[in-house]
Chain A
Amino acid sequence: MKRTVYRELDLSPGFLLVLGLLGLIAAAGLGAAWYMEHYGHIVTGMNNQVVWGLPHVFAIFLIVAASGALNVASLASVFNRTMYKPMARLSGLLAISLLAGGLAVLVLDLGRPDRLIVAMTHFNFKSIFAWNIFLYTGFFVIVAAYLFTQMGRGFGRFIRPAGWVAFVWRLALTTGTGSIFGWLVAREAYDAAIMAPLFIAMSLSFGLAVFILFTGRSCALSGREFGQDLLLRLGRLLGLFIAAVLYFTAVQHLTALYAAEHHDIESFILFGDSIYTTLFWTGQVLIGGVVPLILVTLPTHGVSRVAIKLACALVIVGGFVQVYVIVIGGQVYPLALFPGMEVRSSFQDGVIAGYQPSLPEFLLGIGGVALALAIAAIGMKSLRFLPESLADEAVDPQRVPRTGAVT
Chain B
Amino acid sequence: MTTRRQFLRDSGAFTATLASGATLIAFAEAQAEDGNKSRKVRWGMLIDVANCPEGCSTCVSACSNENGWGDTGNPLTDAQWIRKVAVTDPQSKLRRSLPVMCQHCAEPPCVDVCPTGASFKRADGIVLVDKHICIGCRYCMMACPYKARSFIHEPLQNQKPHAPRGKGTVESCTLCVHRVDGGRLPACVEACAAAGHNAMLFGDLNDPETEISKRVAQHPVRKIRADLGIDPGVSYENL
The answer to whether A116 and B135 touch across the interface, beta carbons within 8 angstroms, is yes
User: What residues of chain B lie closer than 8 Å to A346, measured between beta carbons?
Assistant: 75, 80, 83-84
Known: A112-B136, A341-B89. A48 touches B150 (CB 8 A): yes
Asked if B23 CB lies within 8 Å of chain A CBs, one says no
Chain B interface SS verdict (over half): loop
Question: Which B residue's beta carbon lies closest to that of A338?
Answer: B87
* Interface stretch (choices A3-11, A73-81, A143-151, A180-188): A180-188
**In the assembled complex, which residues on chain B have CB atoms less than 8 Å from the CB atom of A398?**
none
Collect the chain B residues with CB atoms within 8 Å of residue A187's CB: 142
Interface pair A111/B117, CB less than 8 Å apart: no
Binds A, one of B164-172, B187-195, B198-206: B164-172
Tell me if A349 counts as interface (CB < 8 A to partner B). yes
Minimum CB–CB distance for B27 against chain A, Å: 27
Q: How close is B78's CB to chain A, nearest CB, in angstroms?
A: 8
Is residue B115 contacting chain A, with contact meaning CB distance below 8 A? yes
- What are the residues of chain B within 8 A of A344 when measuring CB–CB? 85-86, 88
Which of B111, B149, B167 lies at the interface centre, i.e. has the most chain A CB atoms within 10 A of its CB? B167
For residues 34 through 51 of chain A, which have their beta carbon under 8 Å from a beta carbon of chain B? 37, 39-42, 46-49, 51
Which of B83, B85, B90, B224 is packed against the most chain A CB atoms within 10 Å? B85
In the docked arrangement, what's the CA distance between A331 and B76, Å?
14
Residue in B closest to A327 when the chains form the complex, CB atoms: B142
Of the candidates B80, B137, B144, B152, which one forms a contact with A110 in the assembled complex, judged by CB atoms under 8 Å apart?
B137
Is A42 a contact partner of B141 (Cβ separation < 8 A)?
A: no
Question: For chain A, what secondary structure do more than half of its interface residues adopt (helix, strand, loop), or is it mixed?
Answer: loop
- Enumerate chain B residues within 8 angstroms of A158, measured Cβ to Cβ: none
Digitize A314-336: 1 where CB-to-B-CB distance is under 8 Å, 0 elsewhere. 00000000000000000100011
Closest to A180 in B: B139
Contact, CB under 8 Å: B142 / A111: no
Our pick among B83, B115, B170, B228 for the contact of A119 (Cβ within 8 Å) is B115
Interface size on A, residues (CB 8 A): 51
**Would B169 and A47 count as touching, CB distance under 8 A?**
no
Q: Using a CB-CB cutoff of 8 Å, which residues 101-129 of chain B contact chain A? A: 109, 111-118
Contact A337 B100 (CB under 8 A): yes
Bound: A341/B96 CA distance, A: 11
Q: Are A111 and B168 in contact (CB under 8 A)?
A: yes
Do A337 and B85 have beta carbons less than 8 Å apart?
yes
Residues of A within 8 A of B135 (CB): 110-113, 115-116, 118-119
Question: Contact partner of A123 among B115, B139, B143, CB < 8 A?
Answer: B115
Given contacts A338-B87, A342-B88, are A42 and B144 in contact (CB under 8 A)? no
| Interface check A192, CB cutoff 8 A | no
Among A49, A116, A129, A336, point to the contact of B139 (Cβ < 8 A): A129
Most buried by A among B115, B169, B170: B115
CB-based contact B90/A341 at 8 Å:
yes
B146–A47 contact, CB under 8 A? Answer: no
1/0 contact trace for B143-174 toward A, CB 8 Å? 11111011111110000000000011110000
Q: Would A112 and B76 count as touching, CB distance under 8 A?
A: no
**B80 in contact with A52 (CB, 8 Å):** no
Distance in angstroms from B164 CB to nearest chain A CB is 14
Q: How far is the CB of A44 from chain B (nearest CB, A)?
A: 8
Most chain-B Cβ atoms within 10 A of its Cβ — which of A40, A118, A123, A348?
A40
Tell whether, in the assembled complex, residue A122 and residue B151 are in contact, meaning their CB atoms are under 8 Å apart: no
Q: With A and B bound together, what is the CA distance between A336 and B224 in angstroms?
A: 10
B100 close to A118 (CB less than 8 A): no
Residues of chain A within 8 A of B118, CB atoms compared: 122
Which chain A residues lie closer than 8 Å to B147 at the CB level? 48-49, 335, 337, 347, 349
Whether A127 touches B136, Cβ cut-off 8 Å, given contacts A41-B151, A345-B86, is no
Question: Which A residue sits closest to B91, measured CB to CB?
Answer: A340
CB distance A40 to B154 under 8 Å? yes
Shortest Cβ distance from residue A187 to the other chain B in the assembled complex, whole angstroms: 7
Counting chain B CB atoms within 10 Å of each CB, which of A128, A129, A183, A338 scores highest? A338
CB-based contact A185/B228 at 8 Å: yes
Residue B197 lies at the interface, judged by CB distance under 8 Å to chain A? no
| 15 chain-A/chain-B pairs, Cβ below 8 angstroms | A41-B153, A47-B76, A48-B77, A110-B135, A111-B138, A112-B168, A127-B139, A129-B115, A185-B143, A186-B144, A186-B145, A340-B90, A344-B85, A344-B86, A345-B84
* B interface with A by C-beta (< 8 Å): 74-80, 83-90, 100, 109, 111-118, 133-139, 141-147, 149-155, 167-170, 224-225, 228
Interface residues of A (CB under 8 A from B): 37, 39-42, 46-49, 51-52, 110-113, 115-116, 118-119, 122-124, 126-130, 133, 180, 183-187, 331, 335-338, 340-349, 353-354
Q: A335-B147, A337-B224 are in contact. List 9 more A-B contacts (CB 8 A).
A: A41-B151, A42-B74, A42-B77, A51-B151, A113-B135, A118-B133, A124-B114, A335-B145, A349-B147
8 A-B pairs closest in CB distance? A111-B136, A111-B168, A129-B115, A186-B145, A47-B76, A124-B117, A42-B153, A51-B138
